[in-house]
Amino acid sequence: MSDLIPHMPQHTLSVVVPMYNEQENAPLQIDAVQDALKHYPMPWEMILVDDGSSDNTVNALLKRAKEIGSHIRVVELRRNFKQTAAMQAGIDAARGDVIVTMDGDLQNDPCDIPKLVARLLNEDLDMVAGWRQKRQDGFILRKFPSMIANTLIRKVSGLDFKDLGCSLKAFRGEVLRKVRLYGEMHRFIPAWLATVTSPRRMAEEPVRHHARVLGESKYGISRTFRVIVDLLAMYFFLRFGTRPGHFFGGIGLVFSALGGLILSYLGLLKLFGEQVGGRPLLWLGFFALLAGVQMLTTGVLAEILMRSYFDQSGARSYHVMRNDTPATNDGWHHAQA
């Protein structure tokens, strides 16, 4: 295995795997990563995040991690915060210079990790995303919704990636840690990453993909509708996240101008002796002006909230019950002699 690992600069690696109700796959996932990286020439660790599973996932993780070694770490969340928060919890717990994320259902192949990391470091990139060229999923419930979602995300984000939904990605840790993930935004990590680095420093690499054998899929056709809602939020935050007053203020100015023009026109008619009190146009002008003022004040309040938010430090979207980060520099796996 060691002769198959490409040459790469010195670094430390953290592999982050969020899991939810994957008790059958939990020990197998640990074994798969351990086998793929046991001859990895650099120090590495694996962080498994149990996202409030209702089955025996966390116990299976803890048992297998104890059997293998301290470089396998388990973060247990108090309840199910969903995949985005679980992934952020793993990223926060990761200590590596390079962070690799992947799913915990054994569909991503950990043998692709060295290839992604080597390209990331050797080409001086900030992210290398996996591209499942031969995806082993059903068409109706998985491939078709993914095709729609990828098309929508490309249109909104402007990123020309073929498979934005693949969880297997390698990141430069210092760049990824500048991005905070909330809601269901794990699907849009490349887009969020584009807010702190250039798209030219992001690439896509073909990776293997396996059919799910154990457990049940957490995805379906309904994911497409959630993606559409998330896309609207992403569009707003990417373009107006640090200047919400421009968004609300722009709408407010349009409505205020429209209402002002209508009322001015009716005012002129009134000066020439015409009756305007019963005209529907009067109500239209009044409510347009009122809506404009409301949008302008909303923009001011949004600016205040935005500044308050960015002034805060350490805000998180989850609460950890267990995080067995070693107190010393132990807990790394080193290549076997």
Residues 135 and 123 in one domain: yes
- What was the pLDDT predicted at 278? 78
Structural domain total, the chain: 2
Residues 17 and 146 in one domain: yes
Query: 322 lies in a domain?
Result: no
Phi and psi of 281, rounded to 5°?
Answer: -60, -30
Residues 189 and 206 in one domain: yes
- What was the pLDDT predicted at 3? 47
The whole-angstrom separation of Cα 293 and Cα 301 is 12
- What was the pLDDT predicted at 146? 64
* Positions in the chain whose pLDDT score sits under 50: 1-3
Contact between 277 and 285 under an 8 Å Cβ cutoff? The reply is no
Q: Which of 197, 215, 240 is the last residue before a domain boundary?
A: 240
Sheet containing 13-19: order of strands = 202-207, 127-132, 169-172, 98-101, 13-19, 44-50, 72-77, 320-323
The whole-angstrom separation of Cα 286 and Cα 46 is 61
Expressed as residue numbers, the domain containing 104 is 2-240
- What was the pLDDT predicted at 245? 80
Residues 10 and 145 in one domain: yes
Residues 260 and 286 in one domain: yes
Residues 168 and 281 in one domain: no
Residues 158 and 97 in one domain: yes
- What was the pLDDT predicted at 14? 97
Query: 148 lies in a domain?
Result: yes
